[in-house]
C-alpha cells in the first residue's frame, strides 16, 4: 500500500483573493489538511486502541482528537479567520455570516473500522460559503485514495475523473447504507433496511459514509441512504457525488445535527426516495 496521495495543484478558473479565496485555493487547503490529518492517523495506527470514550455502538479515539487538531492547524495557517466545525471540535455554526467560509471536518470517518484495523476509513473535509459547498476532499490513506471536487470543477480520485453509474433501476442497484448509532430495532431505519435489502440487487454496510458516497461518485455503487448521519460525514462526499453527475440530498433534519440523507447516480434517485418515504409513512417515522 502506498499512503502518499497525489498532491498536484488544481487548475485555477478563478484567481480568488485573500478574503474571497477561489474554489481551487480552498481545494488545495482542504487537500493539504486532509492529507496531514489522514497521515497522522495512518502513521500512528498502532495507537488505535487509545480510547477516550466508549459508547454502546461507537468509540472515540485519541487519534480522532489529534487528527482534528492537525487538520485545523493546517487550515488556520492558511485561513485564520474562517470558521471550523468538526466531529471533534467545539465550534458551532450558529450565527455564522453565510458569506464566511466554514470548514466541516471529520478527521476519521469510520472510526470503529479504524479501531479494528480495517482499511475502510477516511478523513473528510469540506468548505462552504454563500450557502453552498465550495470544495471537498475525502482521503483514505490505507486505500491510497484521495477524492476531490470543487463547485466549479470535476470530481476526481487521485487525479482521475469520476462519473456515476448508468444503472436505472433499484432492482439492479448496489446501495450503500448504514444504521443509526442509536440502534433500536423497533425504529424505522431497520424497517427501511429490510425493505431496501429486498428491493435492490444488494445493500451493503461498510461503516464509512464518506467513502460510501465516493463509491457512488466513482460508479462502483449506485446509491446511498442513511438515517441519523451528520453533516461532517456527507458534506465533502456529497459535493463529489454531484460533481460526478449524481445527486446528494438531505431528506430531513432529525434534530441534534442528525440527518436523513440519500445520494445516487441520479437515475434511481426518485425511486429510492419514494421507497424510503413509503416505509416511513407505513411505520409513522
Going by their DSSP bridges, the two strands 156-157 and 145-150 should be labelled as: antiparallel
* Helix (H) or strand (E) segment spanning residue 209: helix 209-217
Which 236-275 residues touch ligand LIP, going by CB under 6 A?
none
Q: Which is nearer to ligand LIP, 93 or 118 (CB)?
A: 118
Smallest separation, CB 220 to ligand LIP (Å): 16
Going by their DSSP bridges, the two strands 83-86 and 102-109 should be labelled as: parallel
Which 136-175 residues touch ligand LIP, going by CB under 6 A?
none
Smallest separation, CB 192 to ligand LIP (Å): 13
The three cell numbers of residue 178 are 448504514
* Per CB under 6 A, 66 contacts ligand LIP: no
Q: What are phi and psi of 138, to 5 degrees?
A: -125, 115
Q: Which is nearer to ligand LIP, 25 or 88 (CB)?
A: 88
| 248-to-49, 68, 122, 188, 265 alpha-carbon distances in Å | 34, 25, 19, 21, 9
Residue whose CB is nearest to ligand LIP in the complex, by number:
178
* Helix (H) or strand (E) segment spanning residue 275: helix 269-283
Smallest separation, CB 259 to ligand LIP (Å): 10
Q: Near ligand LIP by CB under 6 A, which window of 37-45, 104-112, 132-140, 245-253?
A: 104-112
Contact 120, 110 (CB under 8 A): yes
Binding-site string for ligand LIP from residue 212 to residue 241, where x marks contact by CB under 6 A and - marks none: -----------------x---x--------
Smallest separation, CB 153 to ligand LIP (Å): 25
| 160-to-6, 210, 238 alpha-carbon distances in Å | 10, 18, 18
Which 171-210 residues touch ligand LIP, going by CB under 6 A?
178, 181, 207-209
Q: Which of 5, 38, 86, 110 binds ligand LIP (CB under 6 A)?
A: 110
- Residues forming a β-bridge with 133: 128
User: What is d(CA 159, CA 138) in angstroms, rounded to the nearest whole number?
Assistant: 13
* Per CB under 6 A, 106 contacts ligand LIP: yes
Q: Which is nearer to ligand LIP, 134 or 258 (CB)?
A: 258
* Helix (H) or strand (E) segment spanning residue 124: strand 122-129
158 DSSP assignment: T
Smallest separation, CB 224 to ligand LIP (Å): 9
**End-to-end CA gap in the chain:** 43
* Per CB under 6 A, 109 contacts ligand LIP: yes
Residues at the interface with ligand LIP (CB under 6 A): 58, 87, 106, 109-112, 178, 181, 207-209, 229, 233
Amino acid at each position: 500500500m502506498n499512503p502518499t496521495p497525489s498532491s498536484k495543484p488544481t487548475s485555477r478558473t478563478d484567481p480568488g483573493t485573500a478574503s474571497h479565496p477561489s474554489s481551487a485555493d480552498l481545494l488545495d487547503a482542504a487537500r493539504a489538511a486532509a492529507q496531514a490529518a489522514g497521515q497522522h492517523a495512518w502513521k500512528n495506527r498502532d495507537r488505535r486502541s487509545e480510547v477516550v470514550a466508549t459508547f454502546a455502538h461507537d468509540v472515540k479515539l485519541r487519534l480522532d482528537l489529534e487528527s482534528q487538531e492537525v487538520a485545523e492547524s493546517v487550515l488556520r495557517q492558511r485561513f485564520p479567520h474562517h470558521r471550523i466545525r468538526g466531529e471533534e471540535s467545539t465550534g458551532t455554526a450558529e450565527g455564522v455570516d453565510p458569506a464566511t467560509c466554514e470548514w466541516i471536518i471529520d478527521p476519521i470517518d469510520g472510526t470503529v473500522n479504524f479501531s479494528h484495523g480495517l482499511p475502510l476509513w477516511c478523513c473528510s473535509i469540506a468548505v462552504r460559503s454563500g450557502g453552498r459547498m465550495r470544495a471537498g476532499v475525502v482521503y483514505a490513506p490505507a486505500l491510497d485514495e484521495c477524492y476531490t471536487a470543487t463547485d466549479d470543477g470535476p470530481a476526481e480520485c487521485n487525479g482521475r475523473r469520476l462519473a456515476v453509474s448508468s444503472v436505472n433501476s433499484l432492482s439492479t442497484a448496489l446501495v450503500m447504507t448504514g444504521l443509526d448509532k442509536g440502534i433500536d430495532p423497533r425504529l424505522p431505519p431497520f424497517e427501511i433496511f429490510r425493505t431496501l435489502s429486498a428491493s435492490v440487487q444488494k445493500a451493503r454496510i461498510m461503516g464509512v459514509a464518506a467513502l460510501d458516497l465516493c463509491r457512488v461518485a466513482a460508479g462502483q455503487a449506485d446509491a446511498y441512504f442513511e438515517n441519523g448521519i451528520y453533516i461532517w460525514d456527507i458534506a465533502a462526499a456529497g459535493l463529489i457525488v454531484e460533481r460526478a453527475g449524481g445527486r446528494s440530498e438531505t431528506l430531513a433534519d432529525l434534530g441534534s445535527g442528525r440527518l436523513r440523507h440519500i445520494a445516487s447516480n441520479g437515475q434511481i434517485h426518485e425511486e429510492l426516495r419514494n421507497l424510503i418515504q413509503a416505509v416511513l409513512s407505513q411505520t409513522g417515522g
